[in-house]
């Protein structure tokens, strides 16, 4: 099972070893971590890659063909191992930017760089090199029909598809084997095998909705720029929509935080520190406040336990498998004052959005006004749908996660008992799906393979993958080390990114690299993060403003900040590595700028 000796084509050379990965496309050669980094921020493990890679690429190709902007004959002869849609290079997930650029350039009134706005924000990606075949009359006509249908569609067809997917996941979860009673073989078959069948159709729905969401937001932005002379109006018109799944956990955590803040006994317990013993202490307490908190917390886990850092990958803990993760967020939330109430913020944003919409419509004349209204409705609807599809996929993945983690626990215990003293939690994910049967038969026999792969995984994790590349990644030795610093900001310096959510706020920078360790984020602080996924969302509520290293119009940070009314600047390059913790900064969400007011002593 040594990767260097394996004939399995999923192993690719990287550095002085090998890791799981895919092949780049010659026709569509530019790739980006944009958006992909939010879904899969960490190095892919062999098991997760072998489950998701082929199914993910099939789903990506189906989604790419959905609009007709890319024709079947353009990709049908390309092997599935070539990353037309998305791929894994050097262990990290990437999206194919070239194919998105070609599709964007074929949208009526669009241009290739529209894709850059959706996926990258700012930065210097490899330029798009136009090819004669980029122009395709059939694709252009299909794109025109698709755009027209989309902005005139109420979303009923996609709403029905979402409901069907949710029912499929409900059935999938109901039929899964019991975590406690199933055999090892049943756990494997009931989780990994079934997830292989489920992932592609669920992911395909998500990708189709994501494409339409990005398309409609791009069309809306272009309309705002051409008709209203302000492309940033589009972001304001999408604020405070409600029913955005990524923001929903924040409302529940806010209520839990209020419960703690209102109770002297709960406050004392949280003041003593949040660790893995806290929840057990609360469960064994006879206090009424503690009992009420535990009941509400258990309901929170039932509703949102599948969310958390790296929630798309079964290798990682989420809120149900590690309750300390949400408890840490509740601990930060309890300190926020009532002005941060996300429900109140949504009400404010909804009122402001409605007023702005009336003002903008008054500036437009028919037939532009009618097209504008339809595009706005579609952008709002599909932005909500996009977050709902994420929730659906994540729920299915979580059902598999619970069984896989139990199988991993059993096999580690067996390996320890059979003489492998180095066996540890997570070993299962250093096997590929094709190796699991042999590993279950002899877990101790895989000790050397697992040790080698863990070492290679650690090497990849030490470095920051290039945000984009063309044709091939640079050699691993040229990637930046995470431990390397950047030139610190100067007093008065203005860092420029992109607007995420309007508003201006000033506070002390709290540089946080993981939502599991908020590093004392307190009222009045500005959250400075590398990138965000739904597990970060509650920290948005506790902060005065949010600054993110990367991000674009369809990134998680933008969607959630505009839903919660938090001033936000994204694509502020290297903010987490240049802004020192404790610096006084001012964030202007309308311009995407961050001004350094005072440096820490």
Q: According to the model, what pLDDT value does residue 350 have?
A: 87
Q: According to the model, what pLDDT value does residue 6 have?
A: 46
Closest CA to 133 of 108, 110, 109, 106: 106
Could you tell me which residue, 235 or 299, shows the higher pLDDT? Answer: 299
Q: How confident is the model at residue 452 (pLDDT cuts 50, 70, 90)?
A: very high
Structure tokens that stand for 70 in this block: 């890319």
Instruction: Set out the domains of the chain in order of their start, with CATH numbers.
Output: 251-344 (no CATH), 494-598 (3.50.30.10)
Q: How confident is the model at residue 12 (pLDDT cuts 50, 70, 90)?
A: very high
Judge if pTM exceeds 0.85.
Answer: yes
pLDDT above 90: percentage of residues in the chain: 62
Q: Provide the 10 A C-beta neighbour count for residue 264.
A: 8
Exposed/middle/buried for 201, CB within 10 Å: 0-12, 13-18, 19+?
Answer: middle
Closest CA to 210 of 392, 398, 395: 392
Is residue 578 within 8 A of residue 487, CB to CB? The reply is yes
Collapsed DSSP state (helix, strand, coil) of residue 25: coil
Q: In three state form, how does the secondary structure of 112-175 look?
A: CHHHHHHHCCCCCCCCCCCCHHHCCHHHHHHHHHHHHHHHHCCCHHHHHHHHHHHHHHHHHHHC
The HSE-up count of residue 12 (CA atoms within 13 Å, CB side) is 21
In whole angstroms, give the CA distance from residue 10 to residue 21: 6
In whole angstroms, give the CA distance from residue 245 to residue 250: 10
Q: pLDDT tens digits, residue range 99-130? A: 999 998 988 778 888 888 777 766 688 999 99
Helix (H), strand (E) at residue 404: helix 368-417
Structure tokens that stand for 6 in this block: 């394996």
477: phi then psi, degrees, rounded to nearest 5:
-65, -20
End-to-end CA distance of the chain: 53
Structure tokens that stand for 230 in this block: 């302000």
Q: In three state form, how does the secondary structure of 316-371 look?
A: CCCCCCCCHHHHHHHHHHCCCCHHHCHHHHHHHHHHHHHHHHHHHHHCCCCCHHHH
Q: How confident is the model at residue 38 (pLDDT cuts 50, 70, 90)?
A: confident
In the predicted model, what is the mean pLDDT of the chain?
A: 90
Q: Residue 506 — left, alpha, or beta (φ > 0 → left; ψ -120 to 50 → alpha)?
A: beta
User: What pairs with residue 487 in β-bridges?
Assistant: none
Q: pLDDT tens digits, residue range 87-103? A: 999 999 999 999 999 99
The position carrying tokens 């409600």 is 242
Which of the 8 DSSP states describes residue 14?
E
In whole angstroms, give the CA distance from residue 527 to residue 441: 47
Q: pLDDT tens digits, residue range 324-366? A: 999 999 999 999 888 888 888 888 888 989 999 999 999 999 8
Average pLDDT over residues 252-276: 95
Of the given ranges (60-64, 74-78, 117-121, 129-133), which has the lowest mean pLDDT?
A: 117-121
Exposed/middle/buried for 337, CB within 10 Å: 0-12, 13-18, 19+?
Answer: exposed
Q: Strand 593-598 and strand 494-496: pairing?
A: antiparallel
Q: pLDDT tens digits, residue range 146-196? A: 888 888 887 888 889 999 999 999 999 999 999 999 999 999 987 787 787
In whole angstroms, give the CA distance from residue 192 to residue 190: 6
Q: How confident is the model at residue 1 (pLDDT cuts 50, 70, 90)?
A: very low
């Amino acid at each position: 099972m040594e990767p260097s000796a394996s004939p399995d084509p999923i192993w690719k050379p990287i550095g002085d070893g090998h890791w799981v990965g895919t092949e780049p496309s010659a026709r569509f050669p530019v790739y980006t971590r944009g958006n992909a980094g939010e879904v899969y921020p960490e190095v892919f493990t062999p098991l997760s890659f072998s489950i998701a890679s082929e199914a993910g690429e099939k789903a990506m190709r189906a989604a790419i063909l959905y609009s007709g902007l890319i024709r079947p004959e353009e990709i049908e002869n390309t092997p599935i191992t070539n990353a037309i849609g998305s791929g894994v290079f050097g262990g990290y997930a990437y999206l194919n930017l070239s194919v998105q650029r070609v599709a964007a350039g074929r949208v009526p009134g669009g241009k290739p760089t529209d894709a850059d706005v959706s996926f990258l924000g700012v930065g210097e990606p490899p330029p798009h090199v136009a090819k004669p075949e980029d122009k395709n009359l059939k694709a252009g006509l299909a794109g025109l029909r698709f755009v027209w249908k989309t902005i005139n569609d109420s979303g009923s067809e996609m709403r029905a598809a979402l409901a069907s997917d949710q029912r499929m996941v409900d059935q999938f979860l109901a039929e899964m084997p019991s975590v406690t009673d199933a055999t090892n073989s049943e756990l494997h078959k009931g989780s990994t095998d079934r997830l292989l069948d489920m992932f592609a159709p669920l992911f395909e729905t998500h990708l189709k909705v994501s494409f339409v969401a990005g398309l409609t937001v791009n069309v809306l932005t272009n309309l705002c720029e051409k008709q209203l002379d302000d492309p940033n109006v589009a972001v304001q018109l999408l604020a405070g929509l409600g029913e955005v799944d990524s923001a929903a956990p924040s409302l529940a955590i806010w209520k839990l935080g209020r419960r703690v803040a209102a109770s002297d006994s709960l406050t004392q317990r949280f003041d003593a520190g949040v660790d893995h013993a806290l929840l057990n202490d609360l469960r064994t307490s006879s206090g009424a406040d503690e009992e009420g908190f535990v009941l509400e917390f258990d309901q929170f886990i039932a509703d949102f336990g599948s969310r958390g850092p790296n929630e798309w990958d079964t290798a990682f803990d989420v809120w149900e498998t590690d309750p300390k993760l949400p408890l840490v967020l509740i601990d930060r939330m309890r300190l926020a004052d009532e002005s941060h109430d996300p429900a109140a913020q949504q009400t404010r944003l909804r009122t402001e959005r409605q007023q702005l919409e009336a003002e903008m419509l008054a500036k437009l004349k028919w037939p532009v006004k009618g097209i504008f209204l339809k595009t706005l409705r579609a952008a709002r609807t599909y932005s909500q749908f996009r977050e709902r599809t994420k929730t659906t996929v994540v729920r299915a993945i979580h059902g598999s996660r619970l069984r896989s983690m139990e199988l991993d626990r059993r096999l580690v215990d067996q390996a320890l008992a059979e003489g492998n003293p180095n066996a540890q939690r997570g070993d299962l994910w250093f096997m590929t799906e094709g190796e699991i049967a042999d590993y279950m038969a002899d877990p101790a026999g895989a000790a050397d393979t697992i040790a080698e792969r863990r070492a290679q995984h650690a090497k990849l994790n030490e470095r920051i993958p290039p945000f984009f590349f063309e044709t091939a990644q640079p050699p691993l030795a040229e990637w930046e080390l995470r431990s390397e610093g950047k030139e610190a900001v100067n007093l008065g310096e203005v860092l420029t990114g992109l607007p995420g959510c309007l508003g201006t706020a000033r506070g002390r920078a709290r540089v946080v690299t993981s939502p599991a360790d908020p590093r004392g984020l307190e009222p009045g602080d500005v959250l400075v993060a590398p990138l965000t996924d739904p597990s970060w969302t509650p920290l948005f509520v506790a902060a005065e403003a949010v600054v993110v290293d990367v991000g674009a119009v369809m990134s998680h940070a933008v969607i959630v900040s505009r839903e919660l009314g938090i001033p936000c600047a994204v694509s502020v390059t290297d903010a987490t590595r240049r802004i020192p913790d404790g610096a006084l900064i001012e964030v202007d969400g309308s311009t995407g700028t961050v001004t350094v007011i005072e440096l820490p002593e």
